[in-house]
Amino acid sequence: MATICVLNAGSSTLKYAVYETAPTLGRVAGGTIEGGSLDRVPLPDDVAAFGHRVVHGGPHLSQPVAIDPETFAAIEAVSPLAPLHNPPALAVIRALRDRFPDTMQVACFDTGFHHGHPAVADRFAIPDALYQEGVRRYGFHGLSYEYIAGALETVAPAIAKGRVVVAHLGSGASMCGLVGGRSVDSSMGFTALDGLPMGTRSGSLDAGVILWLQQTKGWSVDRVEHFLYHDCGLKGLSGLSNDMRVLLASDASLARLAVDYFVYHVARTAGALAASTGGLDAMVFTAGIGEHSPEIRSRVLRRLSWLGFEVDDTANAAGGPLLTASGSRLPAYVIPTDEELVIARHTAALFRG
Ligand code: ADP
């Protein structure tokens, strides 16, 4: 039977998932390869099509697309905007093209779901010429938000039509404002460095800090890039770990500060996005921290009690999906994300033509 193979290449891991296409799309295998070597992915010969997560599509690529040389070049052109993600995805695409030259490969973009943001959310306050060159607030984690928007139609159909803030809190973290299932704003911008503090990325940082590092400390561009992607965020602030589990278990004052900082900024960003969506009907938590940490969910929702959230501690500890009490003015949910399934659906659709 023909299968769809989904590949999600990161800086240090390669996640894969295999789906049978009939009678319905169903996951039959999957795993994570540390080190990211394609050689260790068990690839059957009857793969109908490969689907790839590509983090950055730049200004020209938003819809899932069968990869031809032109598409490949366009993904390569925006690699500097996703230096941890686009290059390993391209390496996998190239290796598969050599090994299975006749098999369709599809790229699905994390930026795609945010395409169509209003100009005020899509722009920086810089000259238009730079916008035309592609300096825009793209937004990321779009495959995850697309999954959540779809899942909400089952979990809470009335709310799926309304105004929802989704918090994708993993080692990369961002938040998205949805209205009627469509993204209207994101905490992430030009690159996946923006917005919330992350495992090792700073999140929003006054551009003046970067100037200061270069002018006063004499840091090179490469050093600044490495610093912003690898040495900041929870790891930088705590001086201990990029892993939220380690920080939650620690009594060290800087570890506590890092957790406080994370919670504060998730809540602050929820408030900002509630202004983008013109009010709020619900909030959703997803990804590693969002799905597995009742403590972080509870602390964020308590900070947002002024918006009308009242946590049900038992439901929250049990993993929801509804996290709030019956009398809560607004509901909050936890919904496990499934980016691979979204990629498999798009890949199967393009394969069937
Ligand atoms: P990625 O962006 O790599 O896909 P994930 O969405 O898998 O990341 O999230 C990974 C992060 O989730 C880990 O760095 C870890 O800090 C966090 N995490 C996983 N389980 C828990 C937990 N039980 N409590 C708190 N944090 C958790």
**Is 241 within the bounds of a domain?**
yes
Token digits for 303? 């900070």
Asked if the structure places residue 344 within a domain, the reply is: no
Give the separation between CA 233 and CA 239, rounded to whole angstroms.
10
- Residue among 325, 307, 308 at smallest CA distance from 316: 325
> What span, in angstroms and rounded, lies between the C-alpha atoms of 270 and 211?
29
Does ligand 1 have an atom closer than 6 angstroms to the CB of 288? yes
Q: How many domains does the chain have?
A: 2
Please, what's the b/e burial string for 47-75 (b: 16 or more CB within 10 A of its CB; e: otherwise)? bbbbbbbbbbbbbebbebbebeeebbebb
Q: From the candidates 39, 45, 110, 185, which is the catalytic residue?
A: 110
352 occurs within a structural domain: no
210 and 75 within one domain: no
Residue 250 within a domain:
yes
SS3 233: helix
Pick from 247, 277, 233, 237: which is nearest to 117 by CA? 277
Residues 178 and 29 placed together within one structural domain of the fold:
no
Domain that holds residue 313: 157-334
> Does the annotation mark 45 as catalytic?
no
* Cα atoms found within 13 Å of the Cα of residue 95, Cβ hemisphere only: 16
Residues 178 and 293 placed together within one structural domain of the fold:
yes
Domain boundary among 78, 109, 140: 109
Going residue by residue through the chain, which has 353 residues, state the pLDDT in tens, using 9 for 90 and above: 689 999 999 878 899 999 999 889 999 999 999 888 888 888 888 899 999 999 999 999 999 999 999 999 999 999 999 999 999 999 999 999 999 999 999 999 999 999 999 999 999 999 999 999 999 999 999 999 999 999 999 999 999 999 999 999 999 999 999 999 999 999 999 999 999 999 999 999 999 999 999 999 999 999 999 999 999 999 999 999 999 999 999 999 999 999 999 999 999 999 999 999 999 999 999 999 999 999 999 999 999 999 999 999 999 999 999 999 999 999 999 999 999 999 999 999 999 98
Query: Quick check: is 44 in a domain?
Result: yes
148: in domain: no
Say yes or no: 185 and 90 in one domain.
Answer: no
Return d(Cα 180, Cα 158) in angstroms, integer. 10
Q: Which residue has a Cα nearest atom 19 of ligand 1?
A: 288
User: Residue 64 forms beta bridges with which residues?
Assistant: none
Name the residue with tokens 């919330």. 196
* 181 & 317 share domain: yes
Of all protein residues, the one whose alpha carbon is nearest to atom 7 of ligand 1 is 288
Q: Strand 182-186 to strand 282-286: parallel, antiparallel, or no bridges (unpaired)?
A: unpaired
Are the CB atoms for 19 and 26 separated by under 8 Å?
A: yes
Q: Are residues 172 and 237 both part of a single domain?
A: yes
Judgement on whether residues 180 and 308 belong to the same structural domain of the protein? yes
Domain co-membership, 166 together with 315: yes
The structure tokens listed for 1 are: 């039977």
348: left (phi over 0), alpha (psi -120 to 50) or beta: alpha
CA of 241 to the centre of ligand 1 (A): 12
Backbone angles phi, psi at 273, to 5 degrees: -70, -30
pTM over 0.85: yes
244 C-beta closer than 6 A to ligand 1: yes
DSSP code of 139?
A: -
248 CA → ligand 1 middle, Å: 12
Q: Are 164 and 103 contained in the same domain? A: no
- Measured from the CB, is residue 199 less than 6 Å from ligand 1? yes
Domain assignment present for residue 294? The answer is yes
H or E element that contains 250: none
68 assigned to some structural domain: yes
88 and 179 inside one domain: no
> Count of CB atoms within 10 A of residue 309's CB?
23
Closest atom of ligand 1 to CA, residue 287: 6
CATH number at residue 70: 3.30.420.40
